[in-house]
Structure 1
């Protein structure tokens, strides 16, 4: 009833209101891969206060605003993943770009900056990722911890991620959209 489809690359996981784990409360996770061996994604709405240039010199000029690292999840926080959105049209992105779904894909951070500049509609860099072992995500979906919904290209590199969770819920059909108006603390309602 609450989710649509099966977990796969390009789907969004929206934390259910009852998911209180501080790593995931009100998060929007873009799945980059999901199969029988598990799932991997990045949290789209957890900007940090760390400028990208502080960690990856020069990349601050290439990433979408705000030019900060995003906390992609609790796993592998000492590593970074770059997600980009290619322009519409026949171009498949710059060298080092690998499509995940639609116009969204991963960019190899070893790609020379001059080959990336101007080749993307947006780029975001994530420290860490969210990961699930075999069957774990499916179990969490079954217990109602997550809502599984389609992503839109614009979800990846928004200038402000404030309210992304509610906005994605609001655009869903049926009862799922109702959750977008739910107060943070239902006890206060």
Structure 2
């Protein structure tokens, strides 16, 4: 991790962490090796804690098998995603508002950034389907205590950058980690070619 994190992430100017920002892990040891090449979306960030969800770790569980009412509006691939190592029983939904659709202070939606929204699991999916491009279902979350996320960023473990709505609904045949790196300032796009297994190099 030293070659990538300490010499690259620490050397680059990046955005401050806040809700709606992405955390891009280094390619070797993302989240302690549990979720390498991971992309996290910050949902909450304050002096007391930070909370995020991993966007690119798909499970083998189909949404239809556990939450059939949500399956119809689940984005492809319609699987439950592993949102983090904490709160493993917690299930959450992220959606992307359709272009031009106002949220109108919907009581069961909370805007994260631009068109990205958190949707209460108590919500009837049918009542919001017309407002959304799609929904992603997550099980688990990732938490940091006071100052912990800032320490990890300072150590070069994360690159902080704004999220796009399309990041939440990335199709299964695309590599979100690669996509996010490719749209960053140089030299980060060069590292998008870093192999998943260094032995392949």
After TM superposition, list the pairs within 5 Å mapping 1:21-60 onto structure 2: 21-60=32-71
Structure-1-length-normalised TM-score: 0.92
Contact kept? 1:82, 1:125, Cα under 8 Å: yes
Q: What is the DSSP-based 3-state SS (H/G/I as helix, E as strand, rest coil) of the residue aligned with 1:36?
A: coil
Structure 2 residue 130 is matched with structure 1 residue 127: no
Q: What is the DSSP-based 3-state SS (H/G/I as helix, E as strand, rest coil) of the residue aligned with 2:87?
A: strand
- CA drift of 1:177 comes to 1.8
- Gap runs ≥5 in structure 1: none
- CA drift of 1:60 comes to 0.7
Structure-2-length-normalised TM-score: 0.87
Contact kept? 1:23, 1:73, Cα under 8 Å: no
Partner of 1:13: 23
Structure 2 residue 144 is matched with structure 1 residue 144: no
CA–CA distance in structure 2, aligned partners of residues 69 and 90 of structure 1: 26
Partner of 1:64: 75
Change (3 A) 1:89 1:132: same
Q: What is the DSSP-based 3-state SS (H/G/I as helix, E as strand, rest coil) of the residue aligned with 1:178?
A: helix
CA–CA distance in structure 1, aligned partners of residues 77 and 194 of structure 2: 28
- CA drift of 1:168 comes to 0.5
Aligned-pair Cα RMSD in Å = 1.8
Question: Which has the higher mean CA deviation after the structures are superposed, 179-188 or 36-45?
Answer: 179-188
Partner of 1:165: 177
Change (3 A) 1:3 1:38: farther
Change (3 A) 1:38 1:86: same
Which is helix-richer, 1 or 2? 2
Q: How many residue pairs align between the two structures?
A: 189
After TM superposition, list the pairs within 5 Å mapping 1:113-124 onto structure 2: 113-124=125-136
Partner of 2:103: 92
Deviations 1:89-145 (A, max 9, x none): 251176511111110010011112321222201110100011111111111111111
Specify which of 174, 177, 181 is matched with residue 189 of structure 2.
Answer: 177
Partner of 2:3: none
CA–CA distance in structure 1, aligned partners of residues 96 and 13 of structure 2: 25
- Gap runs ≥5 in structure 2: 1-10
